[in-house]
């Protein structure tokens, strides 16, 4: 059998379940998952290897109307991942209420085989699933529509089979040992960011960036320093909390996640820094890895 390899882009609206799906497909906790929308800011590759194939999944930020330079960068990543794709998985929430025209628009002109995945069917009924399937068939004429639950691992195997069937013949793109293109620093910062999303309300998570400033590896212990960057002094106070108690909670949970992920003891120190309006400043966005 000829070797197959290709790029599979997972796209859709915020909160549709893209990261949950990617983690179910890849079988690792690559992408952070929180109940809030817009948690994924970068394209993240998750790679599944076997002797006969290499599937490079790409989890992308949710499709939104851009309000900040940060959002523009996020949308460029979505567009890039549609252009690069050998296959596209469009994830939609069965209970999605707002307009999906922006999603449809992004897909115009794409020639890659497309599957629509109607997600969260555990929170729906057969009739609604059927209606949604008809809607998507009409709108996009995809190769196939799957009804799935990424969270409950329902029909994920069928999606995987579809991907394998439609993957082009190609040599591997990455080393067969690789699970992702992201490094340990990235995952460390994502684990802190996930806690920021979990522990704080309203605008705080969206105004926050996390930068790992030092990552010293050891056989039994990794030493990690990170900066939590916010836009205003008032946000800094909220992040730190009364007598530092909020920051302590973030640190405790993030450290726990890191210890599980890296299989090491972790020493974690964090500093909170204010950079006014960093989300609108191109130079900072560039520095933080957004193009």
Ligand X SMILES: Nc1nc2c(ncn2[C@@H]2O[C@H](COP(=O)(O)OP(=O)(O)OP(=O)(O)O)[C@@H](O)[C@H]2O)c(=O)[nH]1
**Using CB under 6 A, which residues numbered 42 to 71 contact ligand X?**
61-62
Buried b (16+ CB within 10 A) or exposed e, 85-120: bbbbbbbbbbebeeebeebeebbeebebbbbbbbbb
Interior/surface letters 9-30, b for 16+ CB within 10 angstroms, e for the rest: bbbbbbbbbbbbbbbbbbeebb
Could you say whether residue 81 binds ligand X (CB under 6 A)?
Answer: no
Report how far residue 230's alpha carbon sits from residue 274's, in angstroms, rounded to the nearest whole number: 5
Of 145-153, 193-201, 244-252, 266-274, the segment contacting ligand X by CB under 6 A is 145-153
Give the strands of the sheet with 209-216, arranged side by side: 209-216, 221-230, 265-274
With the C-alpha atoms ordered 252, 32, 160, 7, is the resulting torsion angle positive or negative?
A: negative
Gap between the Cα atoms of 268 and 212, Å rounded: 10
Side-chain half-sphere of 10: how many Cα atoms within 13 Å? 37
Nearer to ligand X, 53 or 136 (CB): 136
74 versus 188: smaller Cβ distance to ligand X: 74
According to CB under 6 A, which one of 5, 7, 9, 17 is a site residue for ligand X? Answer: 17
- Closest alpha carbon to 13 in 76, 67, 71, 60: 60
CB of 116 to ligand X, least distance (A): 14
Query: Binding residue for ligand X (CB under 6 A) from 129, 151, 158, 247?
Result: 151
Does 14 sit near ligand X (CB under 6 A)?
yes
**List 33, 87, 239, 250, residue binding ligand X (CB under 6 A):** 33
- Considering only the stretches 35-43, 131-139, 168-176, 248-256, report the one whose residues sit in contact with ligand X under the rule CB under 6 A: 35-43
Q: How far is the CB of 88 from ligand X (least distance, A)?
A: 15
Question: Which of the residues 105 through 144 are near ligand X (CB under 6 A)?
Answer: 119-120, 122-123
Q: Which helix (H) or strand (E) holds 117?
A: strand 114-119
Cβ atoms 136, 92 nearer than 8 A = yes
- Residues 230-269 binding ligand X (CB under 6 A) are none
Stretch that binds ligand X, among 9-17, 43-51, 234-242, 283-291 (CB under 6 A): 9-17
Considering the complex, state which of residue 45 and residue 272 has its C-beta at the smaller distance from ligand X.
Answer: 45
Stretch that binds ligand X, among 16-24, 160-168, 185-193, 246-254 (CB under 6 A): 16-24
Q: What is the number of other CB atoms lying within 10 angstroms of the CB of residue 287?
A: 13
| Site residues, ligand X (CB under 6 A) | 12, 14-20, 33-35, 37-40, 61-62, 119-120, 122-123, 149-152
């Amino acid at each position: 059998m000829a070797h197959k390899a290709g790029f599979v882009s997972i796209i859709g609206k915020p909160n549709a379940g893209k990261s949950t799906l990617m983690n179910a497909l890849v079988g690792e906790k690559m992408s952070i998952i929180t109940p809030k929308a817009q948690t994924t800011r970068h394209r993240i590759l998750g790679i599944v290897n076997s002797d006969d194939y290499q599937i490079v999944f790409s989890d992308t930020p949710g499709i939104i109307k851009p309000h900040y330079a940060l959002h523009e960068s996020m949308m460029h990543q979505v567009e890039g991942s549609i252009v690069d794709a050998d296959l596209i998985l469009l994830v939609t929430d069965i209970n999605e209420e707002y307009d999906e025209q922006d999603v449809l628009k992004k897909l115009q002109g794409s020639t890659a085989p497309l599957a629509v995945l109607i997600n969260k069917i555990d929170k729906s009924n057969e009739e609604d699933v059927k209606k949604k399937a008809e809607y998507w068939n009409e709108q996009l004429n995809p190769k196939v529509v799957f009804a799935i639950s990424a969270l409950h691992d329902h029909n994920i195997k069928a999606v995987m089979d579809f991907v394998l069937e439609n993957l082009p013949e190609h040599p591997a793109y990455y080393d067969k040992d690789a699970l992702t293109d992201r490094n340990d620093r990235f995952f460390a910062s994502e684990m802190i960011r996930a806690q920021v999303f979990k522990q704080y309300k309203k605008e705080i998570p969206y105004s926050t960036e996390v930068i790992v400033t030092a990552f010293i590896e050891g056989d039994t212990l990794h030493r990690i320093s990170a900066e939590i960057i916010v836009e205003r002094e008032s946000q800094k106070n909220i992040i730190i909390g009364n007598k530092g108690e909020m920051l302590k909670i973030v640190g405790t949970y993030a450290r726990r996640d890191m210890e599980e992920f890296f299989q090491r003891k972790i020493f974690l120190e964090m500093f909170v820094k204010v950079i006014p309006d960093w989300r609108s400043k191109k130079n900072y966005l560039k520095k933080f890895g957004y193009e």
